[in-house]
Structure 1
């Protein structure tokens, strides 16, 4: 399980780093820009990721009281780039700290998500996938906005010893 935890932790670090690198390239108006009325802004996507973390990790694993307003995550928001960077760093810190502190028994404990039971390990794996999907949307929006000025966020792979 230690290797799985390390692999997941590395994945969460890469997602966090790439999202922060994108945010650093944009201004407040750009992070709140929506391609059209039925699409999300980068700020919506980050609020949604944070809501997911607070619900599944904070409330579900760490037993921190939280009431999620999932629909509200997709309403029009105007959030500063700096607040979004802080939000991402705080949210991913909670994910990584919770993951690395959890023993094998904790990883195999279940919680109800939606209408099914999942182990905490399944939730971490699903979260890494979910956050990667939204990271792709964030990168795409940034590429649209920055065009030729977009700086890639690709991070070299860590060497394993």
Structure 2
């Protein structure tokens, strides 16, 4: 297949993102997961809801052509979410991305979607999602380290 390398790389990257974020979540309690370093900052719960919104828009809507409504402003609004819900969202949504990558055709990877008035292939969009989610993963680690200080256990590879 034409895109075996990309498919394999993306699956490994999203598996790593899922594993490392779940590792950080597992170390924190509900209060810590909803804590913000500053009132203008996001909490881990908000960042995970934002990643979920991105998955809905870029994968469900953009690649799989499902009708969804995303409210980015709402997902970035701070509100309390329990740890069990965040673990579920993170595990299930990232597994969905992994399964989608494994199962879509090369033709689908080469199809295009419009993102911010620019045409991009689905393959490019998946690489962009991996980069975007990695950025948020770094923010999650930073917040976890702020909460746990020397008790934080790194999930570095």
- For normalisation by structure 2, the TM-score amounts to 0.96
Structure 2 unaligned residues grouped into runs of 5+: none
Q: Distance in 1 between matches of 2:145 and 2:39?
A: 19
Structure 1 unaligned residues grouped into runs of 5+: 156-161
Which SS does the other structure have where 2:21 is aligned? Answer: helix
How far is 1:19 from its partner? Answer: 0.2
Correspondence 1:95 to 2:97: yes
Mapping for residues 30-69 of structure 1, pairs under 5 Å: 30-69=32-71
Q: Distance in 1 between matches of 2:66 and 2:107?
A: 20
Two-structure CA RMSD over aligned residues (Å): 0.8
Q: Distance in 2 between matches of 1:109 and 1:130?
A: 20
Per-residue CA deviation, residues 119-153 of structure 1 (Å, 9 max, x unaligned), is 00000000000000000000000001000110111
Per-residue CA deviation, residues 86-143 of structure 1 (Å, 9 max, x unaligned), is 0011111111111111221111000111211110000000000000000000000000
- For normalisation by structure 1, the TM-score amounts to 0.94
- C-alpha contact 1:44 1:76 (8 A) present in aligned 2: yes
How far is 1:63 from its partner? Answer: 2.2
Runs of 4+ in 1 over 3 A off after TM superposition: none
Tell me which residue corresponds to 1:9: 11
Tell me which residue corresponds to 1:119: 121
